[in-house]
Structure 1
């Protein structure tokens, strides 16, 4: 009975870890897609804020409404240096977000999760904030695509490897020692009847 329960628990561990990591890994392409959408949305919001700030400053200082971002920042530096710096910071944030979204979009679907993971340490604060937002708002889903299937298979293989290592370390499966040279397996099993 003990051996049966041990085998059942080891099989359950293999199945649970294998399927759990497979389903978890299948989330990565969907999470990368959510991250790309969030980057685009936050960049669009930053652009609306920049355009609104330029419009308000243009009405106050009677500028031409077609000033570029750089020209508007330069025009604000004299009368309002703090607003010029704030506008320059907003322009940098929008550019950072758009560059991150372009890098993500340039990758094939299979490599987008890798690019998103790379953006965590290498992206700026704004990019990390968007990635955190995508993680917080992600709704688990199973996407049936080549990328999802590839990540799912990799997760399954990793889960089975970890489970087998745990079972082996836990001593659930004992492998008999190899036979000594000169004695057959049958000789080891039957006691000698010598007087």
Structure 2
């Protein structure tokens, strides 16, 4: 009975961890899609803010509505340095977001989650956190039937089974009973007398 319960627990741990990691890995393509959508959404929001700033400045200073971004910053810098710096930062932010979006979309679908994760590790700024927050809020857990989803799911399953095996090996080493040294204890209490030489 004890062996039956131990085997059942071992199989349950393997199945549970394998399934959990497989389902988690299956979410990577969908989560990456939500991340790229959030990148484009934040970039478009930044562009609207830039256009509003330029529109207010053009109405106040009677500038042309079709003025380029760099020209607007140069024209605004002598008049309102702080506003010009804010506009320049927004323009740079939009450029970074759109560049990141183009890099991710240019990558193969299979490598896109890895590339997105690498960019998150490299750049942990405010923009990245905002994009990640939007992506996580809009992401709906789903199972994407695709080549990338199948490969990531299989990789997650193998990783889960590996971790389960390591965990079971560690637990077995902890619970393994230590051999008792009864013979040594008896010998210490009652030492064996040396054999006498036989009489001639």
Shift of 1:169: 2.0
| 1:38 match: secondary structure | helix
Shift of 1:48: 0.9
Report the TM-score, using the length of structure 1 for normalisation: 0.85
Q: Which residues of 2 match residues 1-195 of structure 1 at below 5 A?
A: 1-123=1-123, 124-171=125-172
Runs of 4+ in structure 1 over 6 Å off = none
Which region of structure 1 is more displaced relative to structure 2, 118-127 or 53-62?
Answer: 118-127
Q: Is the 8 A contact 1:100 1:127 kept in 2?
A: no
Q: Deviations over 1:25-50 (max 9, x none)?
A: 00111100000000001100110110
What runs of 5+ residues in structure 2 fail to find an aligned partner?
177-200
Structure 1 or 2, whichever has the larger Rg, is 2
| 1:140 match: secondary structure | coil
Shift of 1:137: 3.8
Shift of 1:115: 1.2
1:137 and 1:50 map into 2 onto residues whose CA distance is: 25
1:179 corresponds to: none
Report the TM-score, using the length of structure 2 for normalisation: 0.83
| 1:73 match: secondary structure | helix
RMSD: 1.6
Q: Deviations over 1:56-89 (max 9, x none)?
A: 1111111111111000000000111111011001
What runs of 5+ residues in structure 1 fail to find an aligned partner?
175-195
